Amino acid sequence: MQNSGQRYPRRPRRPYRRNSNGYHDAYDDETEAEDEPYESEAADLVELPANGTRNAIIIGIVTGILSALQGILITLANAPLYRAANALDTSHPTSAATNIAFALAGLWCLTVFISIVLYFIGGFITGRVAVRRRLGFLAGFVAGAITELISFFTHYIPNYPGNQPANGMGGIAGVGGGILTLLILMLVLGVFGGLFGLLGATIATRRHAYYGG
């Protein structure tokens, strides 16, 4: 956790060139004293906001909940379509089944697109609040992991649209395999959300003094 008074230099300049007289600022006259460029470094120090990591995690949690919630609302709003898909006889494909499949694919794409927008916004807000771009990735990672975690538990809600009947698998092996699958999906979706969070934080801080803006 960063202290509120902690200061960080901006990215280093291309400050000095060696010549026959020693080191001199590349943009100053050679008549200036050799140590004078170092005296201006204090003006280049940028103070970063405190509690950046905590704020990024909070933003990520809120973003993940919103992302999961919009997926749940879209699913519930189209419950008849999911029930019709569950009632289809997959052994005899028909044009109606094809239309339902395309409709479900469209809903999935819509859900993913809204999630991407939310991850980007979460990263953008993190960039504004915490400045450091890596914390934008952290916020997006947390958001993606939370989204997958909530989505996983919706599969245990009775009569939830789109859920398939239980296949009877249980025991330690079944539970262990489910947990491992959940962790892998949380990691994958976390990285996916983190990349868009990083993009949002990068755009939010492109003119910030810490990054030479």
Quick check: 139 and 196 in contact, CB under 8 A?
Answer: no
pTM: 0.73
Beta bridge partners of 178: none
| Phi, psi (rounded to 5 degrees) for 14 | -95, 80
CB 138 within 8 A of CB 53: yes
pLDDT single digits (tens) 71-121:
999 999 998 888 888 777 666 667 777 888 899 999 999 999 999 999 999
Please compute the mean of the pLDDT values over residues 46-55 and round it to a whole number: 88
% of residues, the chain, pLDDT over 90 = 47
Higher pLDDT, 53 or 166: 53
Region 164-192: mean pLDDT is: 77
| Burial of 205 (C-beta count, 10 Å sphere; 0-12/13-18/19+) | buried
pLDDT band at 173 (very low <50, low <70, confident <90, very high): low
Instruction: Give the tens place of pLDDT for each residue, 22-50.
Output: 544 444 444 444 444 433 343 357 788 88
